[in-house]
Amino acid sequence: MSTYQIVSERKQATYAIKSPADAFKALSRYRNKPVEHFFMISLLAAHEVVSVRIISIGSLDRAIVHPRDLFIEAIKDRSAAIIVAHLHPSGRTEPSEPDIELTRRLRQGGELLGIPVLDHLVISRNGYWSMVEHGQLAPVGLE
Type of residue found at 136: Q
User: Would you give the distance in Å from CA 125 to the centre of its chain?
Assistant: 17
Give the pLDDT score at 142: 47
Predicted confidence (pLDDT) at residue 27 exceeds the cutoff of 70: yes
Number of residues that make up the chain: 143
Tens digit of pLDDT for each residue in 109-118? 999 999 999 9
Give the pLDDT score at 66: 86
Beta partners for 120? 84
Domains (range + CATH), the chain: 5-130 (3.40.140.10)
pLDDT band at 2 (very low <50, low <70, confident <90, very high): very low
Sheet holding 49-57, edge to edge: 5-9, 49-57, 37-43, 81-87, 117-124, 127-130
Q: Tell me the C-alpha distance between 140 and 96, whole Å.
A: 22
Predicted confidence (pLDDT) at residue 7 exceeds the cutoff of 70: no
Tens digit of pLDDT for each residue in 51-103? 999 999 876 666 778 899 999 999 999 999 999 999 999 999 999 999 999 99
